Amino acid sequence: MRLLLAATVASTFTAIITILYPAHASEADASLVKYGEYLAIAADCSGCHNSATKGLMAGGLALHSPMGDIFAPNITPDKKTGIGSWSEKQFADALRRGISPTRGSLYPAMPYTAYNGLIDKDIHALYSYFMLGVPAIENASKETHLPFPFFRIALPVWNYFYNRPYKIKVRKSFPQLERGRYLVDHLAHCSTCHTPRNFMLAERQDAYLGGGKVWPWTAPNITPSEQGIGEWTTKDIRLFLTEGHNQYAVAGGDMGLTVQQSLSHLTDDDIYSIALYLKSIPAYTNSPDLDKDPPKKASLSQPVTELQFNTEQQLDDQSLDGSRLYQAACSSCHGVYGEGSQDGEHPSLWTNDTIRMKQPDNLINIISYGVHYRGLDQEHAMPGFVAKLNSAQIASLTNYVRNEFSGQSSQVTAEYVKKLSLYENNDYFIIKYVKIIIILAIMCLASLITSVLFWIRRKGG
């Protein structure tokens, strides 16, 4: 009886669906929406647009920039607070040109400088997914208010000069390499983090993927050079992008989230295309602060510290002794000698890219905030110590780890650690001097106008 009832309900439901959506259309829609969802994952839309409390694409995340916080809006199909009443053309303009019908010019924190190369077919699939596959959620997102002179009205000028697709020369091209390029440059927008920026905060095409900033993190050089990932095989790259770690590196900070939300869900073919493409791009070698010391050979006879080890040792509130701090905070997982754990869960510190890099920022961030991400294989977590250690202790721990495990002579100070945590370690020309330049320009203009008026008066008189 129950079975009969269930069958009747099911067939009635199918009949209603068939009347509402003709078979062809609904099948086509469903596969288009599914394809759109895959693209949205590859483009990591949810990485910025998800709301922790309201749900999928409901907006709210604050993106830190040196100018101030920029908030990601609600992009669910809600008609009042989302993009439910947008046409496909308006959606395409937001993605490729950074123009919104409600906000006007968008800040390039929305990566339209990468999405500008998305093909029409993919825009159509994304639009279908957002309109039909994402539930509408009412949530008015916070408005962004950046200080003078970073107002929206200045953006069309910036876009005119800087919203241009890349022209990177690769060795002889073929379809899989082209697919890799499309993913890296446009959908997965790797360059928005990994390419350094010029004095106007635009990506420098001459330093393509040569190492950029994602405050307070540094996204390393990922070109095939010594400063970058020249020694990695395509297999190493694939492992890193899907599982978040390999023998050289761990995906900390925003890279961990990129692996968790986006890259670990891509098809094997797409990941292989990305790896192949990264091996084919020009090697960038011109950023001395990203130089890496060669890996040091781990040696268990290394005299790490003269202290006797005690894994129970508690963090001492006052201690500024790096080796003591290491034994108390790190050795239980990474080993007394930094050798890592047998099962590979806790990496060896002797070969780690982050420790070998000349610039200490990522190591300071790892010690402060830890590591948290889920890769294809499992969850990875290391606790952060920012609440337990003060800036001076983090500085001396950083120096100890770098001196001990990579042989660098490290001189990080407490001030440097503090500045990094406040996103104050940038020296971008436009941010430092723009106000002075504008005031000077206004003074010049005012004196020019005064002299012209004076001249006209004198001629007239």
Which of 33, 41, 67, 75 contacts ligand HEC by CB under 6 A?
Answer: 75
* CB of 346 vs ligand HEC, minimal distance in Å: 5
* CB of 12 vs ligand HEC, minimal distance in Å: 36
Which DSSP state fits 183? I
Q: Site residues for ligand HEC, window 54-73 (CB under 6 A)? A: 63, 70, 72-73
Which of 158, 182, 217, 416 contacts ligand HEC by CB under 6 A?
Answer: 217
The tokens describing 172, both together, are 């002889």
Taking the CA atoms of 211, 214, 215 and 218 in sequence, report the sign of the dihedral they define. negative
Judged by CB under 6 A, the stretch of 12-20, 184-192, 300-308, 452-460 that binds ligand HEC is 184-192
Q: Does 128 bind ligand HEC (CB under 6 A)?
A: no
266 close to 287: Cβ distance less than 8 angstroms: no
Task: Count the Cβ atoms, other than its own, within 10 Å of residue 193.
Answer: 22
Which of 210, 252, 335, 360 contacts ligand HEC by CB under 6 A?
Answer: 252
- 361-378 burial, b for 16+ CB within 10 Å, e for fewer? bbbbbbbbbebbbbbbee
Number of residues that bind ligand HEC (CB under 6 A): 77
Which of 32, 188, 281, 412 contacts ligand HEC by CB under 6 A?
Answer: 188
Q: Does 261 bind ligand HEC (CB under 6 A)?
A: no
The tokens describing 456, both together, are 């006209």
Residues 6+ apart with CB under 8 A from 103: 73, 152
CA-CA distance, 367 to 352, in Å (whole number)?
14
Residues 6+ apart with CB under 8 A from 27: none
Backbone angles phi, psi at 292, to 5 degrees: -120, 140
Q: Does 33 bind ligand HEC (CB under 6 A)?
A: no
Q: Does 229 bind ligand HEC (CB under 6 A)?
A: yes
Q: Site residues for ligand HEC, window 332-391 (CB under 6 A)? A: 332-334, 345-347, 349, 352-355, 362-363, 366-367, 371, 380-383, 385
Which of 401, 412, 417, 420 contacts ligand HEC by CB under 6 A?
Answer: 401
Q: Site residues for ligand HEC, window 158-177 (CB under 6 A)? A: none
Q: Does 123 bind ligand HEC (CB under 6 A)?
A: no
Q: Does 113 bind ligand HEC (CB under 6 A)?
A: no
- Each residue 138-157 as x (binds ligand HEC by CB under 6 A) or -, in order, gives ------x-------------
Q: Does 420 bind ligand HEC (CB under 6 A)?
A: no
* Residue of 388, 400, 395 whose CA lies nearest to 323: 400
Which of 33, 109, 137, 239 contacts ligand HEC by CB under 6 A?
Answer: 109
Residues 6+ apart with CB under 8 A from 181: 168, 170, 277
Q: Does 329 bind ligand HEC (CB under 6 A)?
A: yes
Beta bridge partners of 217: 214
* CB of 301 vs ligand HEC, minimal distance in Å: 21
Judged by CB under 6 A, the stretch of 25-33, 157-165, 247-255, 437-445 that binds ligand HEC is 247-255
Residue closest to ligand HEC (Cβ): 252
CA-CA distance, 166 to 40, in Å (whole number)?
21
DSSP track, 187-239: IS-THHHHS-B-TTS-B-GGGTTS-EEETTEEE---SSSTTTTTT--HHHHHH
Q: Does 323 bind ligand HEC (CB under 6 A)?
A: no
* Residue whose CB is less far from ligand HEC, 26 or 80: 80
178 close to 105: Cβ distance less than 8 angstroms: no
Which of 177, 251, 412, 417 contacts ligand HEC by CB under 6 A?
Answer: 251
